[in-house]
Amino acid sequence: MEKVLNFFRSSDKINYKTEILSGLTVAMALVPEAIAFAFIAGLSPLTGLYAAFVVGLVTSIFGGRPGMISGATGAVAIVIVALAKTHGVEYIFATVVLAGIIQMLAGILKLGKFIRLVPQSVMYGFVNGLAVVIFMSQIVQFKVEDANGVLQWMQGTQLFIMLGLVLLTMLIIWGLPKITKAFPSSLAAILAVFGIVYFLNIDTSTVGDMASIKGGFPPFHIPQVAFTFENFMIILPYAAIVAAVGLIESLLTLNLIDEITETRGNGNKEAFAQGMANLTSGFFSGMGGCAMIGQSLINISNGARARISGIVASIALLMFIMFGSELIEAVPLAALTGLMIMVSIGTFEWVSLKIIGKMPKHDIFVIIVVMVVTIFLHNLALAVLIGVIIAALVFAWENAKRIRARKFVDEDGVKHYQIYGPLFFGSTSLFATKFDVQGDPEKVVIDFSESRVSDMSAIDALNKLTERYAKAGKTVHLRHLSPDCRRLLKNADALIDVNVEDDPTYKVPMDFV
């Protein structure tokens, strides 16, 4: 029994009341989000709600980051909307299943470690852009449909009521923790606003105005798609993008929660769990999903740190669907809007504004680019990929300029070149200019004890250099090369004289996840 309990807790000091209350809060916040994302994808509300339940439950039990919340997300909805329109919901279920398999393979192959390569500047841009997206997504709650079904801004009393309830929600969330932390402020705010609206009979928008959430247990359903190569090629591109977007968003959220809680999750375990969740969701009529940064921050800010909160949130969501739909449909949207606005404020990395003048210009540029792509394209995977590419190119450019050569001639008339800095594709051109092939003596030594031959471009540069010396009738000795470099230099065997005894041992970091 103790082993079972240990599986569900992230530490021995688990606060069950906090976990349960936080889970209930997250469950209520999940409802409008899941419905909205289902609408974005052109699917029924229950398709989004079932995905929120299945994905949330599976990842909470088997995921690599206790306290992180997963469910139906806008990132996935945006990817599958085109397929839903052209081929229907059955192809969506099949796509989610295939995406889950791809994600599970990523976990098995331990590809989760590559998320550690995302620079801090990209993280700042990602988080800040996502904060803006969360905030902007709440603006629609201040609009209503006119007689022609066109969204118009609220006016008059309706607008003042909405603003008042939203501000009250935000005030409670901000102020209650200063008085007591015995009860989650977000749940208290939702209950308080719900009570005011219910007992004062205030006319305002509720969850039920979006859609009905009444339903049964998610039905097991094998996707009705013919298993042919043609159909496989139709869903494969969508599945690959869903898998990539889901993993990137989930692992970035994992990193963010790691920083907040000062603990460390397991990226590979989370990748496998995300895949298992999507695989299951596809067989239980769900649209699939990934980690949800907003709900995860709600959960963490409430003090939840174990798996129990996520499990409670998923089960509570199912109970809402099966038995409590009328009650949840009466929850004012103003309360959930205020909650999500506070989440966006808490998500934004305000420290990034304070250190702008102290950061390198290229890092500031990366932050801005990632923010802009996230905000305007709503494509988190593309934003992160662009940011990483820019950061990598800047890093390569900066390191390309650091290649140096110290030159001297010893008492035997042998010229020595002591190389400093990494030799890789970016520095090969500058490296080649360091040598005076025609003016050098007959014997030349190139010492790499303070350098590292990093890639095939560097190997090719060394081959060309030795060929130049050979054509000039001179002998070049390459010393202190690592064993892997010596193996790659087989095309220049006749010209190489490597000092094996002095070769350093290069230690390459392996799997840190």
> Under a CB-based contact definition with an 8 Å cutoff, are residues 428 and 457 in contact?
yes
Q: Is residue 309 in a domain?
A: yes
Cβ contacts of 456 within 8 Å, gap of 6 or more: 488
State how far the Cα of 277 lies from the Cα of 289, in Å rounded to an integer. 8
If you average pLDDT over residues 411-435, what whole number do you get?
89
Any idea what DSSP says for residue 111?
G
Instruction: For 1-17, write each residue's pLDDT tens digit.
Output: 444 445 444 445 788 99
Could you tell me the CATH number of the domain that includes residue 468? 3.30.750.24
Do 341 and 409 share a domain, yes or no?
no
Does 13 fall in a domain? no
User: Contact at 8 Å (CB) between 100 and 288?
Assistant: yes
Per-residue pLDDT tens digits for 71-123: 998 778 878 888 998 999 999 999 999 999 999 999 999 987 777 677 888 88
Number of structural domains (the chain) is: 2
Q: According to the model, what pLDDT value does residue 485 have?
A: 66
Predicted local distance difference test score (pLDDT) of residue 5: 46
Whether 126 shows a pLDDT value over 70: the answer reads yes
* Closest by CA position to 52, among listed 244, 255, 295, 214: 295
Residues 297 and 359 in one domain: yes
- pLDDT tens, residue by residue, 317-336: 999 999 988 888 888 989 88
Q: How confident is the model at residue 160 (pLDDT cuts 50, 70, 90)?
A: very high
Quick one: what percent of the chain has pLDDT higher than 70? 90
Distance between CA atoms of 459 and 476, rounded to whole angstroms? Answer: 15
Q: Is residue 296 domain-shared with residue 426, that is, in the same domain? A: no
> Same structural domain for residues 104 and 174?
yes
User: What is the secondary structure of 88-124 as a DSSP string?
Assistant: -HHHHHHHHHHHHHHHHHHHHTTGGGGGGGS-HHHHH
At CA 197, angle to CA 194 and CA 200, rounded to 5?
A: 135
Q: How many other C-beta atoms lie within 10 A of the C-beta of residue 83?
A: 22
Helix (H) or strand (E) holding 36: helix 16-40
Q: Are residue 107 and residue 225 in the same domain, yes or no?
A: yes
> Does residue 396 lie within any of the structural domains?
no
Place of tokens 């692992």: 251
Q: Would you say residue 53 lies in a domain? A: yes
The DSSP H or E segment spanning 415 is strand 415-423
pLDDT at residue 277 above 50? Answer: yes
Please determine, for residue 511, whether its predicted confidence score (pLDDT) is greater than 70.
Answer: no
Q: Which of 104, 45, 36, 101 is nearest to 282 (CA)?
A: 101
pLDDT for 65: 92
Q: What percent of the chain has pLDDT over 90?
A: 33
Does residue 171 sit in the same domain as residue 318?
A: yes
Please report the pLDDT score of residue 487 as a whole number: 64
Residue 510 in any domain: the answer is no
297 or 494, which is more confident? 297
Indicate whether 224 and 313 sit together in one domain: yes
Neighbours of 130 (CB within 10 A): 27
The residue range of the domain holding 476 is 402-495
Domain co-membership, 425 together with 306:
no
Element holding 450 (H helix, E strand): strand 443-453
Task: Give yes or no: residues 430 and 483 share one domain.
Answer: yes
Residue spans of beta strands (DSSP E) within 33-189: 70-71, 143-145, 151-153
Q: Is 512 among the domain residues?
A: no
457 & 337 share domain: no
- Let me know whether 300 and 151 are in one domain: yes
Is 378 part of any domain?
no
60 pLDDT more than 90? yes
Give pLDDT tens digits for 173-199.
899 888 887 787 888 888 999 999 999
- State the DSSP code for 182: S
Could you report the per-residue pLDDT of 437-491, keeping only the tens digit for each? 899 998 999 888 888 787 778 878 887 888 888 888 888 888 887 666 666 555 5
In a domain, 242, yes or no: yes
What pLDDT shows up at residue 500? 37
User: Are 169 and 308 found together in one domain?
Assistant: yes
> What is d(CA 149, CA 167) in angstroms, rounded to the nearest whole number?
28
Q: What is the pLDDT of residue 482?
A: 67
